[in-house]
Each structure stands twice: as C-alpha cells, then as structure tokens.
C-alpha cells in the first residue's frame, strides 16, 4: 500500500510561479498542510508505522519532516531522486504571464498540458514516466510506505498505477493537503 501526498504549499505556489526543479520555502499554510497530513496519516491503519519516503527536493523533504514529527516517534526519511518533480527548463521560476510574453501562444491552459506540448527544454514526458514507472514497480512490491512528491509527478504516478493514457494522467487534479491511497489496483482519496 502506498500513501501518496504532495508537498505543502510553497512561496512559488502562492505566487503562481512554476517550480519544476527549483525550490522555494513552504508557506505557513504549507507547513500547516504538512502537519495535518501527518496527523491524518497517524490515524490511518497501516500508515502509522509505514516507511517514509520523499523526493530529495527541499520542499518535499521539509514536508516529510513535518509529517514525520506529526506522526510521532523517530522516523527515517528515505530520499529517492526518481520522485523529484519534472524539469521545466527555461520556464522554472516564471509565471504563466511570463511564459506567454516570452513564448507567445504556447500556453495550453494548464502547466501539465503546456509542459508536454510546448516546453522548449524541460524533461520529456517519456523520461519522467520512465523514472516514475521504475520507482512504482519497486514500491508496489515492498512494504507499506508514505511518499511525498510533487504535482506533475504524482499525476503521472497515479496514471501509471491505474494504467491510464498520458492525457488522462495529466488531467488528474493534484491539490495539496490530500492523501491518495494506492492499494490493490485502485486509488482512493482521504480528505479529512
């Protein structure tokens, strides 16, 4: 079983800036989201003593540390670079308006669709899918774990787990403060 969560809100998230491989600190709301996730996970059967795994990017690690503290006890956090967010190349740190002004006509309505169809020098979908598929193949065969990752990566992971096509995987909403439980070929959402 995999308990999958997105990192808490960051300064860039609040400013509607694309992060990709860049990092910005968690906001007060982001720290609160992480703490509440930890409390929810502590109350879920199976999650309370699960291994904690995270993307090595700072916003995910910070979220994982807050979750670990809220879950209680001393927990090691295993970092796996395959869980990192996609690279958005030249778009990292920019807003939608910045992208529109520098690359007119490339914005496709969402970060995920724009990245796949138009990002000039970011990571390709196939590359991101390959590393996440590799991680998922290992993860489903192992013990229960709590995993902290990123918006686009989580969308791809959920799509891979359910065997969905690329467009379906990229259409998944990936809000912060939610736990997705991947178990027995299905995904359920824990909101409260």
Mutual angle of helices 58-71 and 28-43, in 10-degree steps: 50
Write phi, then psi, for 53 (nearest 5 degrees).
Answer: -130, 145
85 is catalytic: yes
Taking a C-beta distance cutoff of 8 angstroms, is the pair 24, 10 a contact? yes
Of residues 53, 85, 123, 129, which has the active-site annotation?
85
Task: For residue 187, list its beta bridge partners.
Answer: 182
35 is catalytic: no
Of residues 7, 53, 123, 150, which has the active-site annotation?
7
Place of tokens 């809100």: 9
User: Which residues participate in catalysis according to the annotation?
Assistant: 7, 85
């Amino acid at each position: 079983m995999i308990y999958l969560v997105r990192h808490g809100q960051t300064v860039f998230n609040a400013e509607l800036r694309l992060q990709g491989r860049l990092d910005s600190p968690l906001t007060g709301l982001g720290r609160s989201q992480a703490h509440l996730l930890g409390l929810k996970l502590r109350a879920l059967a199976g999650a309370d003593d699960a291994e904690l795994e995270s993307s090595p990017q700072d916003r995910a690690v910070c979220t994982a540390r807050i979750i670990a503290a809220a879950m209680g006890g001393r927990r090691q956090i295993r970092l796996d670079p395959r869980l990192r967010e996609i690279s958005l190349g030249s778009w990292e740190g920019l807003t939608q308006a910045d992208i529109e002004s520098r690359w007119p006509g490339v914005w496709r309505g969402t970060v995920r669709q724009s990245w796949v169809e138009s990002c000039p020098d970011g990571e390709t979908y196939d590359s991101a899918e390959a590393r996440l598929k590799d991680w998922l193949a290992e993860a489903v065969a192992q013990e229960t774990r709590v995993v902290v990752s990123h918006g686009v990566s989580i969308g791809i992971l959920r799509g891979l787990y359910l065997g969905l096509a690329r467009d379906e995987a990229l259409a998944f909403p990936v809000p912060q403060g939610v736990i997705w439980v991947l178990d027995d070929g299905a995904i359920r959402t824990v909101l409260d």
